Amino acid sequence: MSLDDVVAEPGRQPLTVPSNPPVPPPAPPTPMMAQYIEIKNANPDSILFYRMGDFYEMFFDDAEVASRALGIALTKRGKHLGEDIPMCGVPVERADDYLQRLIQAGHRVAVCEQTEDPKEAKKRGAKSVVRRDVIRLVTPGTLTEDALLEPRQANLLVAIARGRSAAGGMAFGIASVDVSTGAFAVSEVAAEGLSAALARLDAAEILVPDALIEELGPPLSETRAAVTPVGRDLVDPARAEARLAAHFGVATTESFGALTKPELTAASAIVGYLERTQLASRPPLSRPTREGRGAVMEIDAATRANLELVRRLSGEREGSLLDAVDSCVTAGGSRLLASRIAGPLLDPAAIAARHDAVAAFVEAPDLRRSVRSALSSAPDLARAAQRVAFGRGGPRDLAAIRDALAAAEALASRLGTIDDAPAEIASIAAALGAADHALARELAETLADELPLLKRDGGFVRAGCDGELDATRALRDESRKVIAQLQQAYAEATDVRTLRIKHNNVLGYFIEVPQAHGERLVKPPHVETFVHRQTMAGAMRFTTTDLGDLERRIGEAAGAALKLELDAFERLAARVAESWASLAACAAALAALDVTAALAEVAVAKAYVRPHVDDSLDFRLEGARHPVVETALRASGKPFVPNDADLSAPDGGGGLIQLVTGPNMGGKSTYLRQAALCAVLAQAGAFVPATAAHIGVVDRLFSRVGAADDLARGRSTFMVEMVETAAILNSAGPRSLVILDEIGRGTATFDGLSIAWAAIEHLHEVNRCRALFATHFHELTALARRLPRLRNATVRVAEWKGEVLFLHEVAAGIADRSYGIQVAKLAGLPNSVVRRAKAVLDELEAADRASPVERMIDDLPLFAAARKPPEPQADAAVEALDAIDPDALTPREALEALYRLKALRKD
């Protein structure tokens, strides 16, 4: 019979042999993986730290991203849809280190923890998964842990909102909060001031409405912040006031001051974002304080980078102005000093108040030393109190609060000895005296000398503080001694000297006596106390109620002791939360005191002088020095050559422009920068490196120093130079201070000379500001003949035996040459190149003497921009459009506005 016959038999199914056997469907995910996928889908834009015992594990794409970012091994665990599941993990005890690296790499992290006891999960079935949920989203602007933060640097979360200002036009509201301290501030700026405001705040994370991401691309790109787009629900002006009032538990936000709609919207966005990322926890925040327009010096991002105010161009703090003058002994003091340098004041009275306080410590060296000594023992109160009140603190945070409050009490006493104390010091003393010193005593009485890092480790409550805890610890740590004491008591009560308390795994603790004595214990009066359990050959065993209770307590002693300690911690944490506002005020006072005493210390150590700051347009420095360069030279034992600078308006009608020529390496850039840095220090409330200083308030500071390209935005070095110069010429006013270095050197000689020429004329005739202009275009010095407020100055050099000596002295006059070839020789160019360059230079200079540049100075009409162009005619439709706030319009109102605009255009 053939195969065909078999297949064809009646009742037999046809035999088919498929070419591709069917693939079984993929197995469904395990319950644990199903749970992971569900939680991950709810947090798609974050790396999920999924708690598995003592590890946080990551799967799928998260694992691949994290393994690359953290440099850890990528493994596999099980399968999903037929594919291996990539996996990596980090130990829970080292999670902070890995979190920091992920945040610095620009990632967000969702921390997922177990939210129920595994024993409860088992009650639902042997294969039930422990419930887990995300307890916190970790983002760059919401960090609180010390391990994730720079102690001496604020960590700001900033929100931007656009809306109608109080004056009726459109403006940007800016809200900033440091979640690690709770400090909360709001301000409003015009569109042209947004970039400078963001540069001053130097945020870690900026919340930007989705609709504004592209529009605000340029100013956002100038920051180092992580940019987080947010939906309209967070920046809805209609909900802003209600959300803010609900968060602070007030009926109305009027108690915060007259906040504008953009400010309210930005502040509401901050609050909403914290609610969204911190989930069940809510960080305590101070009520938002309003920073008025024009309260601080406006310094754009390029100027901050050029002057290296708080960090160098490479990003390091070392070598910046802040680093040179920061002698603070507390982290809070350093953060406050950085804020003051980033935002110098404009109010002469407020500046003078800070100078008065610094002067008081300059004149009282003994007091200054004692204050700084006491401050050095004060931990970071602001961040410690915030962590405890936020529910993220530990025993050492409580100790930090204790020690900081103790230092505050001692400092309040010291400051109280100052006669006629300046207003700022008196205010600081009052805040320190008003601190919750009862809390300090409670903490001192409760906390042990040696403290664990984590509260779950126990051992942080002082012995003798809680009798019940002491007894429980005794059971845990000295159970043998306690049993021996009970055994002795029973032996004396029964008059049985051979009575013993023993233990085994079957009976637990029991009392054993010889049988002859045991017969007495089963009879009155002992039978009511001793309960017979077992009779042995020659011995009898008993128990008692007290022994049974003792056995239970010994077994539970470790857990009971920890629970009592945790209860004590929660009581103290609740006290800290109640006193949070007082603690924040005390922390602010400690920081302000530290800054004041530190600036006085710097002034004495480095011979800084108190500047006179007023509302005039004067700018006069005598014997001025560059604070950073001088610090570096002091370290190497070399002196700094001081110089004068005078840009004061001779008639009050406009500032002087000083045109500085001189050799390369002669110190022109240093001279320019030190003038700007002295203005920053003076208005920040510090003394300045000079022998005398008179500075009329500088409202805007501009700097164009150095050369760099911006390839990412398609800009050459010269283009960057021109963009920055354009911003200065379009924005500087009479109260501005401008420093310009080598304008026009990035292009052809005559192009560059022409641009520099025109820029000087514009500064003189249109901007009318105080300015320092360094150049190698010596032809520009002839402009002093026709521009009355232009002064020539040069950096002096001396030649000796064919060598050039840079004297670093600036004096009135004109440089005859730039000595570039001599500098090239010092740099190590081959001698043949140096000789050839010298020969070429001689020929070029001979040809240049026959050029008509001198004649141009007299014949070329003055810069046309000096004649103001006619004012543009107002456009009624444009004005009406500017007055519309689209976010506040209903659909019907929007349609009516459109008809009005159309009618205006017809007119």
In the chain, where are the structural domains located?
31-138, 146-293, 326-436+579-604, 477-555, 617-624+635-851, 876-906
Report the b/e string of 33-69 with b at 16+ CB within 10 A: bebbeebbeebeebbbbbbbeebbbbbbebbebbbeb
Answer for the pair 43, 134: CB distance below 8 angstroms, yes or no: yes
Q: What CATH number was assigned to the domain covering residues 326-436+579-604?
A: 1.10.1420.10
**In degrees to the nearest 10, what's the CA dihedral of 4, 5, 7, 8?**
110
The binding site for ATP comprises 662-669
The binding site comprises 662-669
Higher local confidence (pLDDT), 882 or 619: 619
One-letter amino acid at 23 equals V
SS3 (DSSP) at 610: coil
* Bridge pairing between strands 770-774 and 737-741: parallel
- Does the pLDDT value for residue 496 go beyond 60? yes
Question: Which phi and psi (to 5°) does residue 197 adopt?
Answer: -65, -45
The CATH architecture that domain 617-624+635-851 belongs to is 3-Layer(aba) Sandwich (3.40)
Answer for the pair 48, 84: CB distance below 8 angstroms, yes or no: no
Fold match between domain 326-436+579-604 and domain 477-555: yes
Q: How far is Cα of residue 445 from the mean position of the Cα atoms in its chain? A: 34
Candidates 3.40.1170.10, 3.40.190.150, 3.40.980.20, 3.40.640.10; CATH matching 31-138: 3.40.1170.10
CA distance 307 to 281: 41
Q: Span 51-78, mean pLDDT?
A: 91
Condensed to tens digits (0 to 9), the pLDDT of residues 66-119 reads 999 999 999 988 888 778 899 999 998 888 889 989 998 889 999 999 888 777
**277: its two tokens:** 């990322």
Give the largest Cα separation in the chain, rounded: 135
Classify domain 477-555 at the CATH topology level: MutS, DNA mismatch repair protein; Chain A, domain 3 (1.10.1420)
CA distance 154 to 152: 7
Condensed to tens digits (0 to 9), the pLDDT of residues 833-845 reads 777 777 776 776 6
Classify domain 146-293 at the CATH topology level: Nucleotidyltransferase; domain 5 (3.30.420)
CA distance 183 to 176: 8
Higher local confidence (pLDDT), 533 or 834: 533
pTM for the model stands at 0.84
Using pLDDT thresholds of 50, 70 and 90, give the confidence band for residue 884: confident
Answer for the pair 649, 771: CB distance below 8 angstroms, yes or no: no
Q: Span 875-894, mean pLDDT?
A: 72
Answer for the pair 282, 275: CB distance below 8 angstroms, yes or no: yes
Q: Span 657-675, mean pLDDT?
A: 89
Answer for the pair 826, 664: CB distance below 8 angstroms, yes or no: no
Q: Span 602-629, mean pLDDT?
A: 96
- Quick one: which of 645, 674, 662 has its CA closest to 807? 662
- Does the pLDDT value for residue 859 go beyond 70? no
> Would the CA dihedral through 895, 897, 899, 905 be positive or negative?
negative
Helix or strand (DSSP H, E) at 197: helix 194-201
Helix or strand (DSSP H, E) at 120: helix 118-123
CA distance 729 to 752: 16
- Does the pLDDT value for residue 31 go beyond 90? no
CA distance 409 to 399: 15
Let me know how long the chain is.
907
Could you tell me the CA-to-CA distances from 168 to 164, 234, 874, 883, 896 in Å, in that order? 6, 23, 17, 6, 19
Token pair 């045109």: residue? 659
Angle between helix 348-362 and 365-375 (nearest 10): 100
Q: Span 352-375, mean pLDDT?
A: 96
Residue 391 falls in which region: left (phi positive, over 0), alpha (psi -120 to 50) or beta:
left
Using pLDDT thresholds of 50, 70 and 90, give the confidence band for residue 2: very low
Could you tell me the CA-to-CA distances from 329 to 219, 396, 446, 471, 487 in Å, in that order? 34, 19, 28, 42, 58
Using pLDDT thresholds of 50, 70 and 90, give the confidence band for residue 865: very low
